[in-house]
Amino acid sequence: MLTTADAAEILKVSPHSIRVWLLEKDHPRFPNAVKFGPVWQIPLSDLEGQPIGRKRGRPKKATGTKKTSKTAPKSGAKKSGSGK
């Protein structure tokens, strides 16, 4: 059984991230984890198949897709259409 700090070291994330994941409903990332008082105990088998590390920063935009911005015109902007 591992503590949150041990699991964090193995997965190369912060202990806070492990605690956040454990607070998810039914903690799906660690289905066999058990809480004894304030301490979580995570079996080593729950870490198998988990991604190691995390990428920092904003994810890159998908290539090949363009999004157009549809915003309302500013209140002082001229409206196109009738010439009056």
Do 8 and 14 contact (CB within 8 A), yes or no?
Answer: yes
pLDDT tens series, the chain, 84 aa: 999 999 999 988 889 988 998 988 877 888 888 898 989 999 999 888 877 776 666 777 877 665 555 555 555 555 555 555
- Segments making up each domain of the chain, as ranges: 4-44
For tokens 């799906």, the residue is 28
- pTM exceeds 0.85 for this model: no
**Helix H or strand E segment including 40:** strand 39-41
